[in-house]
A = this chain, B = another copy of it.
Amino acid sequence: MSEKETEISELGEFGLIDRLTKDFPLKNPETKLGVGDDAAVLTFGEKDVVVTTDLLLEGIHFDLRYVPLQHLGYKSAIVNFSDIYAMGATPRQITVSIGVSSRFTVEHIETLYSGIRRACEVYGVDLVGGDTSASVTGLVISITCIGDVAKGEEVRRTGAKPTDIICVSGDLGAAFMGLQLLERENSVAAGQKDFQPDFAGKEYILERQLKPEARRDIVELLKQKDIKPTSMIDVSDGLSSELLHICKESNVGCRVYEDKLPIDYQTALMAEEFNMNLVTAAMNGGEDYELLFTVPLTDHEKVEKMEGVKMIGYVTEPTLGAALVTRDGGEIPIKAQGWNAFNH
């Protein structure tokens, strides 16, 4: 800790909350009362309310040796916004609870919050509450996000029907390859003084890992084009895992084409450098925060024209199961090999 830094115990819990939350002006008319009472008060009128929550733990979900605190704050908020968009809803409020061990100063936590604030600014979300506490070891971040959606307009995972087209936004596997790169550079750096990792030409995969975005644009585009997906989910644990969720919840099967998977050039190069299977990275890497959704066959022309969306397969009868159709026409059953915190 440098001389300019402040120990959290100097401020105490309420002092810390005041300092962290003072730069979060409320933006939404749906927020009647923010931080500072026993609970926040929100007013949605006739709209429905959607709620999601995520718990992020140091040493499990993030490694502060190579994740800057500001990016961590940004990403912690984004992963929640992404879940709200995956319901076809709009995020409006978040609560942020943090547990911090004594190695963190007030300035560290302010840096974390500056990332959360930036995400709230970009996505128009209000910080309305939270909790701060000491922790015995490491950093704990728990965020709950609340959003709204016109009554009955939420998009669940349950409505996919055979012959529906399966679509995914953006590209897949980049965040995973970015993580591989960061972990390699970190282990190379260990013990080497003044080591400077070379990230030239790899900016995209790093950004996908460190500073992902939520696909608000896709949800807005779907509304503009009057497309209501029959099911939707965000890709956090990997495409395979999310496809299986939709298949299970909608009681359907699916076929997804290997040669239709959207993969960025940098992702492919990095997989080659690491001698990793590119399709595995795209199918199981996770942390893409893209939207996976299904639309009726009759929307084919509409989605074909949507920028940033690719049709990757179709929904089948449940008896056919979920499979990846390889380039040579073979079929590989899809299994969830996505990220599992309990096998980490």
Which residues from B are CB-within-8-Å of A32? 48
Alpha-carbon separation in the docked complex, A134 to B135 (Å):
16
| Chain A 6-26 near chain B by CB (<8 Å), digits 1 or 0 | 001101110010000000000
Q: Within A75-110, which residues are at the interface with B (CB < 8 Å)?
A: 83-84, 86-87, 89, 93, 95, 97-99
Contact B53 A49 (CB under 8 A): no
Let me know if A151 is at the binding interface, CB within 8 A: yes
Q: How far is the CB of A105 from chain B (nearest CB, A)?
A: 12
Number of residues of chain A lying within 8 A (CB) of chain B: 74
Residue ID in chain B nearest A55 by CB atoms: B97
Q: Given B9, B50, B60, B147, which contacts A99 in the complex, CB threshold below 8 Å?
A: B60
Contact A234 B95 (CB under 8 A): no
Q: Which residues of A contact B (CB under 8 A)?
A: 8-9, 11-13, 16, 32-33, 36-46, 48-55, 57-61, 83-84, 86-87, 89, 93, 95, 97-99, 128-138, 140, 142, 144-147, 149, 151, 154, 156-158, 232-234, 249, 340-344
Which residues from B are CB-within-8-Å of A136? 57-60, 137-138
Q: Given B8, B39, B132, B344, which contacts A51 in the complex, CB threshold below 8 Å?
A: B39
Alpha-carbon separation in the docked complex, A137 to B32 (Å):
38
